[in-house]
Amino acid sequence: MCGIFGYIGHRNASKLLVKGLLRLEYRGYDSSGVVVKNGQLQSYKDIGKISEMASSLPRMKGSMGIAHTRWATHGGVTQDNAHPHLSNDGKVAIVHNGILQNSDTLRKRLVKLGVKLNSETDSEIFCHYIAMELDRGKEPLEALQNVLALTRGTWGLCVLFEDYDFVLCARNGSPLIIGRGKDEMFISSDPHAIREHTDQLVALEDGQIAKLNSLDFQVMQTDGKEVKSNLLDLEEDWGESELGDYPHFMLKEIHEQSQSLQHCISGRLRHAEGTSVLGGLQIRPQELAQLPHVRLIGCGTALHAAQIGQILIEQWARIPAVSHVASEFNANDPVINPKALHLAISQSGETADTLSAVKEIQRKGADVYGVVNVVGSSIARQCGKGVYIHSGPEQSVASTKAFTNMVGALALFALQLGRSRHLSKTKGKSITREMRMLPDKIRSYLENPGSIDEAVELVTKAKSVLFLGRGISSPVASEGALKLMEIAYIPCLAYPAGEMKHGPIALIEQDYPVVVIAPNDGVQDRTLNAIHECKARGAKIILIHEEGDPISEVGDVCISIPSTIPMLTPLLSVLPTQLIAYHAALALENDVDRPRNLAKSVTVE
């Protein structure tokens, strides 16, 4: 969602701020802006792309500034609502990620005091209240502490002052990272944005404030008590985040899935023993063998990976598993068994709903293990243990390779769990053998993806599209539908094939497109029944099936994938759905990497 970048040092701040915002562009935004100190605070902001804002940015000479990309929550997409926000005297500037729950009350109080409000946002109250505290003779740190005591909600907050040569930051529920360079300091909501400048990174924790000048920084609790901060342990090379020869990040990331899955499984498979080892779990086989059940929690694409993980765990480990929508988890006041194992799944490691669920589970006495991509992220730090999926940076809002690696990591976990219980060594070796072959099979398919253009022609002419799958292919159908909705803006429904008769069949009319994921997985015959019922009503079947499978005879558009064992088919069957979504978005002239209204990382609840 919203992104923050800040700089204080000896270089031109505005250039670094714009570059930092471009690094955060993948998170999603609708407006952006910068403020630089050069004697006074000079600010510029606009709606639209960062590059367009930057092209009209006035000359700014200062070496200290903060910047922001906004994803609208309170107030529409307007220049006034864009960040930064300045106090009316121009002496305080802020950028803010998060949501203030009591902003209406605080705004009304400002109006009664005669303060002119310049936007509809909840964030604006920070600069006015801080300015009022300064007018009362408070020092900046005390002023910020007093204002934070008034507010309820979440914030990643940076404050710049006209009269002081430092920046104040505060975190509560929204990530902020500090980076130390040579006589310069960086601030960002994402370590990826400052990793190119320094590897000396520190993450603020909830309830902390930081004071930064160009030479050093100090971290303290909101009550002023100083705390010791530990450097983030980041990977030396998190992968290439430039486009290279590809026209869009999404296509690049689709084609990176072979390599990224290889990174995920590399060193973790033990073929001779027919098992896997995930050292980050820090859990012994005896403990795995005694688990009563497993719960998996995620949102969006991570939820679909969790649903696949649930089936893998039940099939290979033969213990109950259930997946949960993270945004609903706390609302349902879940009953937590402290002996159970909980997995929190998130590409960014910053998903607010998932992080909230993690804290609730821990509050009720159970352990949670993170399944995340970004090293040092909030969920990774909160859990303290888990599995990194190693998919590398994912710039496109529509997730592709992160989904593949989430499923890959969950397959590794299910295998390790299964071998600690009743899964035989022979069965385990057959799984490890197939997992080792998957990167090459992904590469082979992407070199010859089949009838994608024919499928695109059908879906782009449709007013809606139905996706069907059965068993472990049902979450793949959900993921395919999500991708097509996200970037092509085509309404989609995804259903287990057996549920088609319980409602969705009413949508089917002549030439209506139905995407069916039907690998040869033991439940294909019942999926075939659903296909015939659709065809009898005039539907056009876009069939995703394994190579050489006779089921291709019933498809109108047939896309074949390499064969593998049934439980691993999602790692291959999802690929055509990603390509269909990508090429459909292109055909409809949509912004593939930056779809409207969407953010890469949802950091507010």
How many CB atoms neighbour CB 275 within 10 A? Answer: 23
Q: What three-state secondary structure class fits 122?
A: coil
Taking CA atoms, 394 is separated from 26, 62, 593, in Å, by: 8, 32, 10
Of 320, 305, 312, 411, nearest to 351 by C-alpha is 305
Provide the 3-class DSSP secondary structure of residue 100.
Answer: strand
Compute the distance between CA of residue 301 and CA of residue 581 in angstroms, rounded to an integer: 14
Q: How far is CA 562 from CA 16, 67, 352, in A?
A: 46, 47, 37
* Cβ(465)–Cβ(584) below 8 Å: no
The C-alpha atoms of residue 463 and residue 228 are separated, in whole angstroms, by 57
Distance, in Å, from the CA atom of 456 to the CA atom of 20, rounded to the nearest integer, reads 36
Q: Are strands 31-38 and 321-325 parallel, antiparallel or unpaired?
A: unpaired
Catalytic residue among 401, 441, 540, 600, which?
600
- Spatial CA neighbour of 257 closest among 599, 6, 577, 604: 577
600 is catalytic: yes
SS3 206: coil
Between strands 217-221 and 177-180, the pairing is unpaired
Give the torsion through C-alpha atoms of 68, 70, 73, 78, to 10 deg. Answer: 110
Residue 427 bears catalytic tag: no
The one-letter amino acid code at 372 reads V
**CA 192, 395, 154, 322 torsion: positive or negative?**
negative
Instruction: Give the residue carrying structure tokens 């998903």.
Output: 351
- Residue 586's CB is within 10 A of a number of other CB atoms, namely 18
Nearest-angstrom CA–CA distance, 246 and 251: 7
In angstroms, rounded to a whole number, what is the distance separating the alpha carbons of residues 339 and 524? 37
Distance CA 382, CA 480 (A): 31
Q: Is the separation of the CB atoms in 378 and 350 below 8 Å?
A: yes
Q: At what angle do helices 401-419 and 425-447 cross, to 10 degrees?
A: 170
For residue 10, count other CB atoms closer than 10 A to its CB.
Answer: 12
Compute the Cα dihedral for 249, 482, 99, 85 and give only its sign.
positive
Instruction: Tell me how far apart the alpha carbons of residues 153 and 232 are, in angstroms, rounded to a whole number.
Output: 26
CA 422/CA 56 separation, integer angstroms: 65
Annotated active-site residue in 2, 158, 383, 492: 2
Per DSSP, the three-state class of 269 is strand
8 A C-beta contact, residue 222 and residue 145: yes
DSSP string, 150-168: H--B-EEEEEEESS-S-EE
Helix, strand, or coil here: 522? coil
Question: Which has the closest alpha carbon to 290: 420, 450, 476?
Answer: 420
- The single-letter DSSP state of residue 521 is S
The catalytic residue positions are: 2, 600
